[in-house]
Chains A and B, each alone.
Chain A
Amino acid sequence: MKPSHERRLLLKAIGAAPAASAFLQWLAPPAYAAGSPPPRLVILWTPHGPPWEFLRPKTTGPGGQLTPDSLVYNQSILEPCKAFADQTLILEGLSYKCRMDQNAGGEDYVGHEDSATTFLSGQRVPNLGQGGVAVSGPTLDQFLGSKLQGQTAIASAVVAMLDAGPNAQSGNNTFSYDANRKPTAGLMRPDDVPSGLYRRLFGGFTAPAGGGSDPTAANRELARRRSVVQTLARQAKTFQGRLANQERQKLEMHLQGLADIERKLGAPAPTIVGCTAPRAPVRPTSVSDYQEKWTMTHGAAEFGALADVIAHGFACDRTRVVLGYGGMSGTVPWEPSLSSIKDMHHEVAHYLSTNDANAMKIARDRMAIYMRSIARLFSGLLERLQSIAEGNGTLLDNTIVLWGTEFGDPSGHAGRNVGFVVFGGRNYLQTGFHRKYPSTKVATTPHNHLLAALCHPFGLKVNGFGDARYQGVLTDILKT
């Protein structure tokens, strides 16, 4: 009998990582110059893809330089971010090439799940049968997290936002895979949502007190917490001693989790100026309640709360990497002018290229409106990051914000010329440009090069990321 596909996937899932990503393994943890604020990364992913005529700048200066005026025109997606034009990088011509190359005929097509799994892994992914377990990664967020392990309370956090609901990730297809090539998050759970991120970053956190706290009581509480976690770790080690091989691994992962907790307990209270815990987002009581929080009525406020958690989490150095995944193809838009649309993908995205010129124009206009509503959210996040002083500038100068999308032209599920925009991080990146890369059917630039470039600010001078066949780095966006 031929081994079932599902079984092979399972075996892969519990086995070692393939050679494609092996070249990342030798890298040492990053080191920072003493006293310098560290780099941070926010990755936010939204579904569909841009009508490029509304994402390109209207005009540019020499070398594609952006000015505030570049982003101001009718239907401009990035207009809400015009104040940050000098901190913006519009990257045109990048493609999910590693996945597209699986298409024998050189077709652009990539599936919804392919896009999600390829986005941060830079790897082609297996098609899944029912019951299969996708294996991929490590993804950029988890790779960086693994190198930053121990330096912050949470190495790397994943959060659901927008219409991310359960459809955005299945248990077998996610955006984020850890160093063991296993999904880090599955179906939406309370800890994947903004209130859960708050709890992970600030649960038990006490901002540096101006006095009045009882150090004896605090020490006692710390001793209690340590007593529990150390007992658990001792039990796990004893238990592990009775086991062999793969079964030992199960407790290895548990021990790692316990070590993370103990490290958080032992971390000195943050003394960073401007570090305060933000207000906590309200925890959803159900999937429906989660969806309600992200409706047109409440969504902007919910994103604002999420942006606060991210900004303060960075300012307090509770984590340095956050991945937010937002929605998938069935997204319901929030814009009042799009309120009649119930399914952005089938009612709008699929018509971005069609023989019906009128339908196409309507669809492209609507997609621009939808994406501009997302850009407005980004603008809010950028403002928050910029409002926090850090080093000689602001937190935004040290924070790279990557906006990734699902497709190039979503009507054909095209993986070519996918929409990527980078904001912030000017201490590490050459920002304020529209960069154009070749994106013909024959020659297109793998998005792996962007993923590789985003490792460099963290001191990880990789030559590529993900599938080793797509080595290369977008050096032109890096600050030399």
Chain B
Amino acid sequence: MAFLSMGCTGSISGSTGDPNSLDPDDPGPGGGSDGTGVSQDDELPIDMPRGDVTPGPVALGEGRLSVTPRRIRRLTPLEYGRTVEAILGGATAYATQFPSDPTVHGFHNFSDTLEMRPLLTENLWVAAKSWIAGVPLTTLLKCTNRNDELGCARQTFRDVVRIAYHRDATDGDVAELMAVLEVGRTGSTFEAGVRLAYEVLLQSPYTMFRTELGDQPNALGYVTLTQQEIANQIAFMLTAGPPDDGLRMAAARDELGSSATRAEHVRRLLDGPRAQAALNEFARGWLMLETLRFDQKSTTVFPQFTATLKDQMKAESLDFVTRILADKDASVAELFTSRTATVDSTLAQFYGVEPQPRSFPATVELPPERGGILGRASLLSTLGHSAYGSPVMRGAFVRRRLLCESIPDPPPDINATVPTMAPRTTRELFAEHSRNPTCAGCHAVMDELGFPFEVFDGIGRYRTLENGHPIDARGVLEVGNLRQEVTGPIELTMALAQTPEANACFAMNWLRHASAREETDDEKIWSEATGERLRTGELNLRDMLLATITSQTFILRGAQ
């Protein structure tokens, strides 16, 4: 199996791995030890038996996770919000000060794209002061003896720096903040000084960026992340916020170099309430759920497509994906086929849930025509135009996001103006693609994957007729060596769930999100191998999440 890339002719070609990519599993010269200070045997391999943390080698030729170069990562809005929340408390919308960041593959967390643009710097400059003004001094001070004001301030800063700067405070950090405090209280009060120093804490580059720099490089050019950096990595990946006490203590005890210890913390966090928001971030990017908020439909055609309905659609999809991801035994196939949904009354009615639950929110089985993520109204609405759904967008989404294929953009000279005279059905509207040989090369592979979803209208409502004409939901799933004719979304999603490509692509997407960067060629092969194990049930989704964190590459970085 290989990830596929298509030319405009519709031809399909395979790919090979890059033999030159970094390989943390290579024992290196002398063999047996990589010189990182972390035992090779301590690594938890991807091909472990489910639930087992016994180490074992990764088979050669099946790809491996690559080492990320040393880097700093600006916090995402959610991460920053949670960090400030841990410092100031309260539920202020700290994250709203962030101008939007570019997305790559739908994800909002790619390290290379997250910067401190001047507008963000300026926003925080104004906002930080007002946030602090809203917090009582008693909350800001973390000391036990408040009679000694300066001693109290030192203790406070030492305590808060640990959260804000993502590391333990140095004497220099405290002295720097004390100097600011001094300026603040000159001609004013101790309280004014404390508040001024807090302004530094909330905007510091040490707060805005967390590090993956490690210490000194070894002979192979790798550095091992510090214990605090590892704790941050786990915490921000799984809870979108700073480490909890459990991780901090483990870091203090120097335990996080052990993959088994990391696995324990991953399980603990995944079972806890704070993992939800972090997994939401993955789902939000993967399924383009942010786009839904801005989706505008013709109010004439879809008057019921209100902001409230959109919010409900989004919430339901997020809940669906994160529940499966956090589930101890879930498979990729469930993401494609499960009909379970948690709905409120409006959405239950929208989906035509029978019988209607007596109370809401209710966890229900959706009608049989809806399976997995592709049966959810959020995605079906997003992948459409103002007045009708788009087989092209739906098909392209399956190709790009669910099969990780690269589809070229339309040639620039295409006139994509939508005809003003509506044909009988949406399918007819797009029939030009198959008649025109210039279009057919690409559109055959997209549209044929989009047509089975014609049973859903532009906002994802089920239908059997369009403008009085029967829906034609026939399509073709063509991927790898498979060519399968399907009718309707269920046949398509059932078939899709069983393809190695869809399973590998899911692993790839998780890896992109987890590593916050583009994949390497080695990692494409890793995804294929992992995807196959997901497909056959040898691994479940939680195993895959664990694998990315317990891998030795999780704690190594390439020295630049």
Interface residues of A (CB under 8 A from B): 1-7, 10, 13-14, 102-105, 107, 109, 111, 124, 126-131, 133, 165-167, 170-172, 182-187, 189-192, 199-200, 203, 216-217, 220, 223-224, 227-229, 231-232, 234-236, 239, 242-247, 249-251, 253-254, 256-258, 260-261, 287-288, 330, 342-343, 346-347, 350-351, 354, 411-413
Contact = CB atoms under 8 A, between A and B. Distances in A.
B187 A185 contact: no
A280 to B, nearest CB: 13
Interface stretch (B20-28, B113-121, B349-357): B113-121
Contact of B411 (A104, A111, A257): A104
A189 B98 contact: yes
Given A235-B206, A250-B209, A130 B106 contact: yes
Contacts of A411: 420
A312 B86 CA distance: 40
B104 A187 contact: no
B487 interface: no
Residue of B112, B176, B416 with most partner-chain A CB within 10 A: B112
B71 interface: yes
Contacts of A232: 200, 203-205
Contacts of B119: 184-185, 191, 257
A244 B560 contact: yes
Interface stretch (B247-255, B296-304, B429-437): B296-304
Contacts of A251: 72, 116, 205, 209
A167 B296 contact: yes
Nearest to B176: A231
A13 B102 contact: yes
Nearest to A354: B420
A131 B16 CA distance: 24
B133 interface: no
Given A166-B293, A190-B96, A171 B102 contact: yes
Interface of B: 2-3, 5, 13-16, 70-72, 74, 96-107, 110, 112-123, 125-126, 176, 179-180, 183-184, 186-188, 192, 196, 199-200, 203-206, 208-209, 213, 288, 291, 293-294, 296, 298-300, 307, 386-387, 396-397, 400-401, 406-418, 420, 518, 521, 524, 560
Given A227-B184, A247-B72, A256 B118 contact: yes
14 contacts: A7-B104, A10-B102, A104-B413, A111-B416, A129-B409, A133-B104, A228-B196, A245-B560, A249-B115, A251-B205, A254-B116, A257-B121, A343-B298, A347-B300
Given A127-B409, A257-B120, 8 more contacts: A102-B412, A128-B409, A130-B400, A189-B97, A227-B180, A235-B176, A247-B70, A250-B114
A187 B294 contact: yes
Most buried by A among B103, B205, B410, B518: B205
A115 to B, nearest CB: 13
Contact of A166 (B106, B294, B408): B294
A4 B100 contact: no
Contacts of B206: 235, 239
Contacts of B105: 6, 131
A33 to B, nearest CB: 30
B183 A1 contact: no
Contacts of B104: 6-7, 10, 131, 133
A164 B70 CA distance: 40
Contacts of A185: 99, 119
B2 to A, nearest CB: 7
B116 A170 contact: no
A465 B192 CA distance: 50
Given A5-B408, A127-B412, A227-B180, A186 B294 contact: no
B115 A250 contact: yes
B409 A5 contact: yes
Contacts of A191: 97, 99, 119, 122-123
Contacts of B110: 10
Contacts of A104: 411-413
B477 to A, nearest CB: 20
Contacts of B14: 1
B54 to A, nearest CB: 34
Contacts of B518: 7, 10
Nearest to B108: A171
Contact of A129 (B114, B118, B180, B407): B407
B111 to A, nearest CB: 9
Given A133-B104, A224-B196, A228-B180, A13 B113 contact: yes
Contact of B126 (A203, A246, A330): A203
Given A4-B406, A254-B121, A231 B200 contact: yes
A288 B412 contact: no
B204 A129 contact: no
A342 B205 contact: no
A253 B115 contact: yes
B166 to A, nearest CB: 12
A192, A220, A251, A254: which has the most chain B beta carbons within 10 Å? A254
Most chain-B CB neighbours within 10 Å: which of A124, A203, A244? A244
B116 A250 contact: yes
Contacts of B100: 171, 186-187, 189
A346 B205 contact: no
A97 B72 CA distance: 41
A236 B206 CA distance: 8
A216 B187 CA distance: 9
Contacts of A130: 106, 288, 396-397, 400-401
A453 to B, nearest CB: 27
Given A5-B409, A191-B99, A250-B72, A167 B294 contact: yes
A124 B413 CA distance: 12
A2 B102 contact: no
Given A261-B122, A330-B296, A10 B113 contact: yes
Given A130-B106, A131-B106, A223-B183, A235 B116 contact: no
Given A109-B416, A190-B96, A343 B2 contact: no
A395 B106 CA distance: 45
A88 to B, nearest CB: 32
B122 A109 contact: no
Instruction: Indicate the member of A1, A229, A249, A342 with the most B CB atoms within 10 Å.
Output: A1
A250 B74 contact: yes
A257 B118 contact: yes
Contacts of B205: 232, 235-236, 239, 251, 254
A23 to B, nearest CB: 24
Nearest to A154: B122
Residue among A191, A217, A229, A342 with the most chain B CB within 10 A? A191
Nearest to B16: A1
Contacts of B126: 199, 203
Nearest to A165: B294
Contacts of A249: 115
Contacts of B188: 220
